[in-house]
Amino acid sequence: MAQVRIAQRQVVERGNGLSVKPGLSSKAPADVANYLQPLLTFAKGLVPPDRHAATPVYLQATAGMRLLPRPAQDALIDAVWKACRASPFRAAKANAAVISGQVEGANEWVTVNYLRGTLGAATDTGCYKPPH
């Protein structure tokens, strides 16, 4: 796991992913484009250049953002959309949103089960069979 400190933020590379700490909710809207830059640069390295314009970019903000007042959430999400729109990727305003705790939990469940290799691990009887 590589960690780099860049101007009051910590960029952490884990496996095939990248995260930036502290979370988006700690930023001012004017700082969002700079905050997202390591993530967008990382994505540019994963997606072939000829596919950038066809590749949608999503940001699903979680618990920290849910704690902010609605006007602050809206300002940050609008700044995310503008930063994504300025990237080479396909951006849609609806792709940047604050998600509910239920959606966050469902996303985590899918992620954990994908990483464990248990998604789609059914037997011929249709019952779940844990991996060995």
Tokens at residue 45, please?
């390295």
Catalytic, out of 43, 52, 104, 118: 104
Q: Are 4 and 10 in contact (CB under 8 A)?
A: yes
Is residue 108 part of the annotated active site? The answer reads no
| SS3 sequence of 30-82 | HHHHHHHHHHHHHHHHHCCHHHHHHCECCEEECHHHHCCCHHHHHHHHHHHHH
Residues belonging to the active site: 104
